[in-house]
Chains A and B, each alone.
Chain A
Amino acid sequence: MITFSQTLKTLYHYAKPYKREFAFGILTLFIVDFLQILPPLVLKEFIDRASLALKGEKHFSPFLWLGVAYITIAIGQSICRYFWRMFLMRGSFKVAEKIRDDYFSKLQKLPPSFYNRNTIGDLMSLATNDTEAVRFALGPGLLVLADATFFLMSIPPTLFILSYKLAFLSLAPMLMVPFIITRIEKLIHERFEKVQNQFSKLCAFSQENLEGIRIIKAFTREWTQLNRFSKIGKEFVRLNLKLARAQAAFDPLFTLAVSLGLVSLLIFAGKDVIMGSISLGTFAAFTRYLDQLVWPMTAFGLSVTYYQRGKTSLERICQVLQEKEENKTSEGNAFSIPSQINAPFLEVRHLTFTYLGSSRPVLQNINFQIQKGSRTAIVGTIGSGKSTLIRLLAGLHETPPHMIFWEGSDFSKLPLEERRKKIAFVPQDVFLFRETLRWNILMGGPFPEMKGDVWLFELLKRSGLDKEAGRWNLDLKMGERGLTLSGGERARVTLARALAVDAPLLILDDALSSVDSHTESEILHHLSHEKLSRNQTLILITHRLSKLWDFDQILVFKEGVLIQTGMPLNLAKTPGLYRELLELQRIEDELARS
């Protein structure tokens, strides 16, 4: 919950760059409102003169003059109407854009743990739906508030000037207005928050449903999902109605307050009019003025609603804006020390890691070293923490200090950006952007400066895509997540993307599991050449052991513990998990038997 002043401060912060726009918008609005007073005066003048004319005095010229005055006022009003709308609303649109911008920048700095807690649909609805609510508070909200203020500033004083007693009588019911506002305001806030949360759920469900459409079709769960969606939707309807029950009270109650003023005027001041202590004209003027109070009261109610909605949404957005960012190393200087000679290229010491919210550590006391230019394979059972280890290296999770060392210095002290520049990474989950193939590959490398096609084809060749590349149009947009490619093709595109980085350490997290062994051999062959020519260090996570014979080191993981380390041939000879896995993958005798 943020307070009133905090909300205003935040809103002001966003509105500040456009304060001239807002100020000008409100100014022109005041002019329109002020000009509104003139036409009745002109009409009155006209009627007076017309009645004079009827009495026989020729006064035709003032007719023309009044007409011109009337039209001038109308034109002035129209111009100002154009301006207030343009300025005020344009300002609010710009603010929304700025909020989206800030929000997106923030998203880019948030770690995966944040994305685990929040679904895509959720985050999307913040950027559109909630931003819109904030915009409404600043655009239409400010507008109606200014409009109401103008009227409220002009009408009640006039009433008091006309007659104290009548003014008191007619305005007394208005005293319930602040009371109504304080009562309902809170309700709107609470209920709107629920509505927005439910909207997020709706978004999240739709998003997930569509992403999983292939599963839904394959399992014929179309209607199961529809019914689940309907439940969320029905709840959304219910919450909206609940909100409406609070919100819809403003307008009739405020109008009622004004009408009550009229009634009390009639009942309590009627006698005075009859007695003649108050003129009928004053009474009539009062009724007309009270009538004019209806709109500002409605407007006032609206502005409260918009403000509350905007505040609620602002809170939701601020929650994200205040999230803890990825660890931005503070003391970057630890790394400016020249790398120690003889220190291993990469060393992991006593690394223990536990996921947020889980009790059991996924990695326990891991120790290993990797030499420059060597090839290391990580194998092990599923869920043993291999990917977690890699993600820690890439700084995707907050890395504990003094556990990972790069050429002798603490890796966690290095700024994330620098750190990631040292690592080319093919994650286990394939993800491609809906851009061209070329774009997807180059996003790893010298992007956006383009290198020549020759260079690109070299990359494609190294990632085993040379045959396909001949067929493909590299500048064709891919379907979402590259779903129009085969599994192995996708995997190789992500490999090419990582190769484009040209970093000293290359990590493949199970990247070759969806390619056939022929292509796999080819790729590994290229990579080993890489090693010779570029001195690139390779870490390969895999479940296929048949290609690991010429690796320099193998790390075997089981349930978060590094249980074996060594050369492949040695490991094959000693009893243990590695040998067990190796035995299971021997195909000669088994297949021969079938």
Chain B
Amino acid sequence: MNWQDPDDSGPENRLRLKVFELFTKRLWPYITKYRKLFIVSLSLVFFTTGASLSIPWLLGKAVDLALLPKKAALLLPFGFILLTLDALNALATYFQNLSFTKLGQEVIHDLRQDLLKQYQFYPLHEFNQNPIGRLVTRLVNDTSSLQDLFTSGLAVTLGNICVVAGIIVWLMVLHPSLGLICVSVFPIMAFFSRFFGRRIRETARDSRQALSQLNATLAENISGMSLIQIFNRQKTFHDLFDRTSKDYTRTQIKTLESFAYFQPTITFLSSLSMLLLIWYGGFLSLKNSISLGMLVSFMAYLHSLYSPIRDITEKYNLFLTAMTSCERIFEFLDRPLEKQIRPQETQIEKLSLQGSIEFQNVSFRYSQEKESLWVLVNLNFCIEAGEKIGIVGYTGAGKTTLVHLLMQFYDLEQGEILIDGKNISETSDKRMLRQKIGYIQQEPFLFSGTVEENIFLWDEKGREIFQALPDFARAPFESGPLFLKKEIFEKGANLSSGERQMIAFIRTLVQNPSILILDEATAHMDSLTEKWIERISKEAFQNRTVFIIAHRLATLKSVSRILVLHHGELVEMGTHSTLLSKKGIYAKLYQLQSRKEALEGTPRI
């Protein structure tokens, strides 16, 4: 059995676009947003190209007009003109570099911003499927690889294309059949460009994918490093990393190889065309149909035709790789967002909720596939506004899932959930509802930053509510390990689990939600701290519908009704005493936690 399957990359690279289409349809709109900058950059390119071409010409003129007729007086003016032109050229080149960098950076910034925006509004199952490292790779590495395209690629290529086009026209005008001979290798070049282009893109795709694999592996290894150390598994993980790292190198070398074949092919073809010119031109000149001077100047032109083509060739690789990255970015930009969500930056509409909740025939499973199990089965219950509800059940019974549905993290497959009598799958913006539901997650996530930032989550409105809390509630945050200005490490690594839960609790409260959900929110707390929560709750729970999910039944002191879930079904519901008298699951759990039972020794199972 192969249980170290290397191919866990899943569905990557589904979008395959033609390079041209990708550039014109997808990237172009981003560029045109900076039309002025683009036009300025372009004019600078024209200027610098013109200047570099005219300087040799001017020098030739100086020879013709000053040196040959021996007019020493003209030397200085010519020198002066050349000097000015050189200086201007240098200046223009400098600014052309800058403006292309700016254009590139701005476009990349926009792309990055758009992609993150897309991520923010992805449905959650995307995050279950895609390792974060992969998403990050597209967001920062793939966008960055566009930079070279703008700074060196675009400027050089655009300038060179102009030169090439100009020279071709000029050759055709000068002598059509000789001109045709000069460009006769073009079709072959085009063929090879396509042939190798396809291979380069294919390998570039592999290489980008390998990079994202590498990033995902790294991210995971770094997050789990202490586990790797505890279990002495350094070698195993090193081998795994090594494989992805080698994979990346291998794919990079493959891309290199295609290009290493391609570039000499093109230069060889250009030499070939020179040979054709010599033969055909020599033949013509022997027949005296062209002068030798004509042939010589054609040779010179051909030389200046192929050096920009070589330059373009050098950038071809860059261009294709950039397009591959683009393809990957746009693939993720094209993925569907969550349903019923308004991704605009407008203020979310305020909603005032009473907080009554009704579940009607709700069934749910995480995957729509046939054989997947139902996690929630036909739930029916009704909760009045302001009621305090406890949810109890064995682990894996579906408690958290139920909350996820209320938060609309996942879409319902069957049944309806009504909040204040309104079907939640008909709200225009999920965020409106989420804003009014305070959800304290089972495992709190903290951002790096200060305690304060984690409590207010960069919204100063919360501060007022925080200030309005009673003194005892604010006390832990005035000094000690939870001091408001304390810097928290990534994922709250320098706080204890209980401290993290305290922050999670307060941060939800200051959002002023109408419905409050505590999913094991006090699981890592000692009873004294729980007491603190309870004291705050006395006031905080008023006028709010509250759900408390807890395994420690003592946490449920304040609830009025308890729902008992078992394998996704609602098996019992009622007050504490009715449930006890039912002698069902709740009664059993209760027994296990009461002191009497425990005193009798090891439980019988």
Contacts and interface: CB of A to CB of B under 8 A. Distances in A.
A and B form one complex = yes
Interface stretch (B23-31, B175-183, B522-530): B522-530
A594 B575 contact: yes
A220 B498 contact: no
Contacts of B588: 518
Interface stretch (A184-192, A406-414, A473-481): A473-481
Interface string A204-216: 1011111111111
B256 A586 contact: no
B161 interface: no
Interface stretch (B184-192, B268-276, B464-472, B540-548): B268-276
Contact of A262 (B67, B82, B271, B530): B82
Given A244-B97, A255-B90, A86 B260 contact: yes
Which of A77, A223, A291, A428 has most chain B Cβ within 10 Å?
A223
A270 B576 contact: no
A444 interface: yes
B109 to A, nearest CB: 5
B40 interface: no
Given A120-B219, A584-B528, A591-B553, A396 B226 contact: yes
Nearest to A97: B249
A85 B222 contact: no
B132 to A, nearest CB: 5
Interface string B491-509: 1011111110110000100
Contacts of A234: 109
A39 interface: yes
Given A101-B245, A124-B215, A226 B120 contact: yes
Contacts of B1: 475
B234 interface: yes
Interface stretch (B163-171, B326-334, B590-598): B590-598
Contacts of A128: 141, 211, 214-215, 218
Interface in A139-187: none
Given A210-B127, A431-B227, A262 B219 contact: no
Given A214-B445, A519-B395, A202 B233 contact: no
A75 interface: yes
Contacts of A77: 264, 267-268, 271
A319 B531 CA distance: 47
A280 B64 CA distance: 11
A215 B453 CA distance: 14
B11 interface: no
Given A207-B133, A220-B434, 14 more contacts: A90-B256, A94-B249, A112-B226, A124-B222, A217-B407, A253-B90, A266-B59, A396-B226, A429-B497, A433-B224, A479-B129, A486-B400, A514-B520, A521-B592
Contacts of B392: 516
A96 B442 contact: no
A86 B263 CA distance: 12
Contacts of A549: 598-599, 601
Nearest to B527: A584
A273 B560 CA distance: 107
A218 B395 CA distance: 23
10 contacts: A39-B271, A47-B295, A63-B282, A70-B278, A86-B257, A206-B135, A381-B526, A518-B589, A588-B594, A594-B557
B119 A213 contact: yes
Contact of A382 (B97, B282, B525): B525
B383 interface: no
B526 A229 contact: no
B458 A443 contact: no
A225 B453 CA distance: 12
Given A515-B551, A587-B594, A266 B79 contact: yes
Interface string B476-501: 00000100000001110111111101
Interface stretch (A1-9, A103-111, A307-315): A103-111
Q: Closest 10 A-B residue pairs measured CB to CB?
A: A488-B395, A382-B498, A248-B97, A74-B271, A78-B264, A584-B527, A252-B90, A259-B86, A267-B79, A222-B120
Nearest to B83: A263
B418 interface: no
B434 A218 contact: yes
A547 B598 contact: yes
A260 B85 CA distance: 11
A522 B299 CA distance: 90
B601 A90 contact: no
Contact of B439 (A107, A218, A588): A218
Nearest to B231: A444
A544 B553 CA distance: 10
Interface residues of A, number: 191
B336 interface: no
Contact of B124 (A90, A217, A435): A217
Nearest to B91: A252
A461 interface: no
A72 B246 CA distance: 38
Nearest to B498: A382
A550 B601 contact: yes
A504 interface: no
B513 to A, nearest CB: 10
A430 B443 contact: yes
Contact of B409 (A214, A271, A430): A214
Interface stretch (B13-21, B100-108, B194-202): B100-108
Interface string A62-86: 0100110011011101110110011
B109 A50 contact: no
B233 A199 contact: no
A487 interface: yes
A525 B603 contact: yes
A337 interface: no
Interface string A499-531: 001000000001001111111111011001000
Contacts of B83: 260, 263
A520 B589 CA distance: 10
Contacts of B173: none
B289 interface: no
A241 to B, nearest CB: 6
Contacts of B441: 214-215, 218
B98 A590 contact: no
A237 B575 contact: no
Given A443-B233, A514-B395, A590-B557, A581 B528 contact: yes
A329 interface: no
Given A70-B271, A119-B490, A487-B520, A206 B116 contact: yes
A475 B493 CA distance: 31
Contacts of A215: 441, 445
A187 B271 CA distance: 42
B576 A594 contact: yes
A179 to B, nearest CB: 16
A519 B396 CA distance: 11
Nearest to B556: A591
B234 A108 contact: yes
A398 interface: no
Nearest to B48: A252
A407 B286 CA distance: 103
A228 interface: yes
A458 interface: no
Nearest to B51: A259
A152 to B, nearest CB: 20
A520 B457 CA distance: 35
Nearest to B248: A97
A442 B348 CA distance: 47
A455 interface: no
Contacts of A224: 457-459
B576 A591 contact: yes
Interface in A37-66: 39, 43, 46-47, 50-51, 53-54, 63, 66
B345 A223 contact: yes
Contacts of B288: 54
B292 interface: yes
A443 B227 CA distance: 10
Contacts of A219: 434, 457, 507, 511
